[in-house]
Amino acid sequence: MNSIKLSKRQEEILHIVREDGPITGKQIADRLSLTRATLRPDLAILTMAGNLEAKPRVGYFINPQSAFKQDAASLASQLVGDYKAHPIVVPKSASVYDAIVQIFLEDVGTLYAVDKNGQLAGVISRKDLLRAAIGNSNLEELPVSVIMTRMPNVITVSPDETLLEAGKKLIQNHIDSLPVVREVDQENQLYEVIGRITKTTITRAYVELLDY
């Protein structure tokens, strides 16, 4: 459905029907200052392609199935780089105690640990911190590097991947967040952290795109 490329006029028709449907062919023609006859082929194409439905004495309206597919496609094709949030980063030498304080101060669920060159070294989640806190009394002496999930086991995403790809990585790996990275050295797998994508990021994009 809707695999054909639409003309500018067909896009305009869809816009009018989306805003004001159900609407008659005559009313659409008036809005575009065209005759009903000029518009007829476009309406026929849009109806056959499955974008529009028509009911006698009611008019044209958006085919709900096609609207859903268009919304889903537009959500899936959004880029990580346009939605990424600010990453909260700590040195890998930081203590577990400081990491717990950071999680509360920054109101995040995951921290990213970096080495002394500022490159991604690991990921520390809330449960990593809870686990460390249960067994240890001296959290100020325990560095996060001991308890974090380390590179190269960290799942990352690049800014030019889509939200759909990011969402799949979250679901398939049972994790809440992905560091958005830029590669600085492919051979040695060195990455600079430039953002984060979380389940909240994806939920927000979903709401923003569909709440029109």
By CB under 6 A, name the binding residues for ligand ADP.
109-110, 123, 125-128, 149, 153-155, 175-178
Q: Least distance in Å: CB of 48 to ligand ADP?
A: 45
In 3D space, the residue among 115, 182, 118 whose CA is nearest the CA of residue 148 turns out to be 115
Residues 2/66, Cβ–Cβ less than 8 Å: yes
Q: Which is nearer to ligand ADP, 18 or 126 (CB)?
A: 126
Q: Which is nearer to ligand ADP, 40 or 204 (CB)?
A: 204
Q: Least distance in Å: CB of 101 to ligand ADP?
A: 16
Distance between CA atoms of residues 109 and 57, nearest Å: 55
Q: Which is nearer to ligand ADP, 23 or 123 (CB)?
A: 123
Tokens representing 193 are: 């952290």
Q: Which amino acid is at 53?
A: E
Q: Which is nearer to ligand ADP, 14 or 197 (CB)?
A: 197
Q: Least distance in Å: CB of 131 to ligand ADP?
A: 8
- Cα within 13 Å of Cα(102), Cβ side: 21
Using Cβ positions, the residue closest to ligand ADP within the complex turns out to be 127
Q: Which is nearer to ligand ADP, 28 or 170 (CB)?
A: 170
Q: What is the number of helices (H) and of strands (E) in the chain? A: 10, 8
Q: Least distance in Å: CB of 112 to ligand ADP?
A: 9
Q: Least distance in Å: CB of 165 to ligand ADP?
A: 14
SS3 sequence of 149-201? EECCCCCCECCCCEHHHHHHHHHHCCCCEEEEEEEEECCCCEEEEEEEEEHHH
